[in-house]
Amino acid sequence: MKGEVRLRIRGLMPEKLLQRAMDMGIRFARVGTGDKHVLIVDVSEHDARKLMKLCKRFSIPVEVVSRRGGSAFRRWLYRRWTLGIGLLAAGALCWLFLGRLWRIDIRFTGDAAERGDASVFMDLLEDKGIRPGSGRAIDTNRLSEELLAETGDYSYVGARVKGVTLQIEAAPELPAPEVYDVDEARNLYADRQGIVVSVSAESGVPCVKPGDTVQRGQLLIRGTEKIGKEETRSIAALGEVVIRAWFVGCAEGHLTSAQVRYTGRSASASTLMTPWFEIPVTEGEQFEHQSESIDDLPVGGLFLPVKLRRVTARETRLVMERGDRELLSSRLVALAMADAQAKLTTSGPLKYKVARSWINYTEPGDDLLRANAVCEIYTNAAVPWEALREG
Question: Where does residue 110 fall: left (phi above 0), alpha (psi -120 to 50 degrees), or beta otherwise?
Answer: left
What pLDDT sits at residue 33? 76
* d(C-alpha 226, C-alpha 231), whole Å: 6
Q: Does residue 87 lie within any of the structural domains? A: no
- Asked if residue 189 and residue 73 are part of one domain, the reply reads no
What pLDDT sits at residue 211? 93
- Asked if residue 344 and residue 234 are part of one domain, the reply reads yes
Where is the domain boundary, 300, 321, 342? 321
- Asked if residue 157 and residue 140 are part of one domain, the reply reads yes
What pLDDT sits at residue 301? 63
Backbone angles phi, psi at 191, to 5 degrees: -90, 0
CB 172 within 8 A of CB 136: no
Tens digit of each residue's pLDDT, the chain (391 residues): 455 788 888 877 777 888 888 888 888 888 887 677 788 888 888 888 888 888 888 888 888 888 776 655 566 666 666 766 777 777 777 766 677 788 889 899 887 888 888 888 888 888 888 888 787 788 888 888 888 888 878 888 888 888 888 888 988 887 655 555 555 778 999 999 999 999 998 888 999 999 999 999 999 999 888 877 778 888 888 899 999 999 999 999 988 888 888 988 999 999 888 878 888 888 888 888 889 999 888 876 666 788 888 999 999 998 888 878 888 888 999 999 999 989 888 888 888 899 899 999 988 887 888 999 999 999 999 998 888 777 6
- Asked if residue 197 and residue 264 are part of one domain, the reply reads no
Range of the domain at 10: 5-78
The secondary element (H helix, E strand) that includes residue 380 is: strand 368-380
What pLDDT sits at residue 207? 92
Residue 25 gets which letter from DSSP? T
- Asked if residue 378 and residue 248 are part of one domain, the reply reads yes
Q: Does residue 303 lie within any of the structural domains? A: yes
- Asked if residue 184 and residue 329 are part of one domain, the reply reads yes
Q: Is 35 exposed, middle or buried (0-12, 13-18, 19+ CB in 10 A)?
A: exposed
* d(C-alpha 313, C-alpha 284), whole Å: 8
What pLDDT sits at residue 1? 44
User: Does the pTM of the predicted model rise above 0.85?
Assistant: no
Q: Does residue 157 lie within any of the structural domains? A: yes
What pLDDT sits at residue 246? 92
- Asked if residue 357 and residue 216 are part of one domain, the reply reads yes
What pLDDT sits at residue 40? 84
Domain of residue 117, CATH code: 3.10.20.310
- Asked if residue 224 and residue 275 are part of one domain, the reply reads no
Where is the domain boundary, 124, 140, 172? 172
- Asked if residue 47 and residue 24 are part of one domain, the reply reads yes
Largest CA distance in the chain: 141
Q: Is 330 exposed, middle or buried (0-12, 13-18, 19+ CB in 10 A)?
A: exposed
Count: domains in the chain:
4
Which amino acid would we find at residue 111?
D
